[in-house]
Each structure stands twice: as C-alpha cells, then as structure tokens.
Amino acid sequence: MQKIYGSAAEALEGVLFDGMLIAAGGFGLCGIPELLIAAIRDAGTKELTVASNNAGVDDFGLGLLLQTKQVKKMMSSYVGENAEFMRQYLSGELELEFNPQGTLAERMRAGGCGIPGFYTKTGVGTQIAEGKEVKSWNGQDYILEEGIFADLSIVKAWKADDTGNLVFRKTARNFNPPAAMCGKICIVEVEEIVPRGSIDPDHIHLPGIYVHRIIQGEHEKRIEQRTTRKKEEA
C-alpha cells in the first residue's frame, strides 16, 4: 500500500466531511500536526468535533480552526492560552466536553483497541460523573467512560518509514500514539521518512498498521510559553 503523499492537502483529499470527529495529537504546541491543521482550515470543513488535549493558541495549532469557526465541539482536558476559545465557549458558540487528561488518553487508546467503554475512579463525585453509569467494586465507585472512535486521526511524529512505523521524539510522545490509534483513518506528518528496515524494531513507538497516509514537511515548532532571564552584566 502506497502511504506517502506529497502534501497535507493531498493526504486529506477524499477524507474530510462536515460534522466529522477528529482526534488530534499533541500537548500544548508540542508535537501538534500543524501542517494538517492548516490544510483542514484551508479546506473549509466545518461543524467539526475535535478530541485533543487542548486547543492550541489564538493564531496557531487548533486555534486556527477556532478562528474560522470550523469547530463545533471540543473534547479536551486543558483549554487555557486561547482567548478565542474562551470567547466562543462563554458566548455559547462552542460546545465543550471536559475530560481528565488520563481519561481522555485512555478513551483514545480504548477506541484504538476496539474497547467501547471502561470504568475509572477518576471524576467520581464531580461534575465529570454527571449522567454516567456508576458501578461499585470492593466498596469503591467507578464511572463508565466511552472509548473514542474518530473518523480521522491527525498526528505528528519525528520519523516514519514508508510502511508507517513511527518514532516520536521526547515530549511529542504524549497524546500522539493514542490519538493515532483511534481513527478510522490516520494521517501522520513527520520530519523525516527513512528507508524501510532502517528503524530498529525496539525503537518503534507505533506500528504502521495504524497509519494510512504519511506526509513529510517543514515544521515551525512554535514555543507556547518562553521564559528567559535577563542577561547578567559583566
């Protein structure tokens, strides 16, 4: 199967449709599929539900899709750093489904493993538990969380071979693997595509069975929060 495409727009061709559920990898601005996000913005696909740890910043990452009001609902853990997100949510223009971080990651992983639901203690007795089934084991309550089965996964990796075996670099190995797993179609953008067989099998973080399309590109890798100290005088 030919998995390598020439651009993000080419890789997304025939995949996007209004009202779809997209799982997006990344944490803050680290390891985000910035090229695919920009291509979705340019495609104009709307009424999107996006499952992602956060929503980028106002002018980068998923914030680009919020600027153009292409997102109908966010399924997220952390939604700071984005004034437009806050404005749309407080004005009722944007739906929000809060998830504890570990729960969101496990919902993606569960979907990728074909698991429709699981029970967790996280969120018991809070707003997170409202309307969810509760079961007790050994005197402890657990709430039922559903696996996420996305129409499309968009992720960022460091390296891939032509079969889609992926290597993530450092902190970028966060939500990207579970996000990649839970999509009916998974499109990955990478910094480098290497020959088949050149990646040590023990160094593969996600096998190519989950990956359908790959693009290689240049990435801005913007820093979300930069803290520096003043230069000391001699």
pLDDT tens profile 99-156: 999 999 999 999 999 999 999 999 999 999 999 999 999 999 999 999 999 999 999 9
CA within 13 Å, CB half, 90:
7
CATH for 96: 3.40.1080.10
In a domain, 78, yes or no: yes
Render 132-185 in DSSP notation, one character per residue. S-EEEETTEEEEEEEPP-EEEEEEEEEEEETT--EE--GGGSSSHHHHHHTEEE
In the chain, the amino acid numbered 45 is T
Decide if 190 contacts 158 (C-beta within 8 A).
yes
Residue pLDDT, tens place only, 24-54: 999 888 899 999 999 999 999 999 999 999 8
| Collapsed DSSP state (helix, strand, coil) of residue 97 | strand
pLDDT value of position 234: 59
* Residue numbers of the domain that contains 41: 8-116+150-216
Decide if 75 contacts 97 (C-beta within 8 A).
yes
Structural tokens at position 137: 């084991």
In a domain, 231, yes or no: no
Task: Name the band, by pLDDT with cuts 50, 70 and 90, for residue 222.
Answer: confident
Residue pLDDT, tens place only, 86-95: 999 999 999 9
| Collapsed DSSP state (helix, strand, coil) of residue 89 | helix
How many domains, in total, are found in the chain?
1
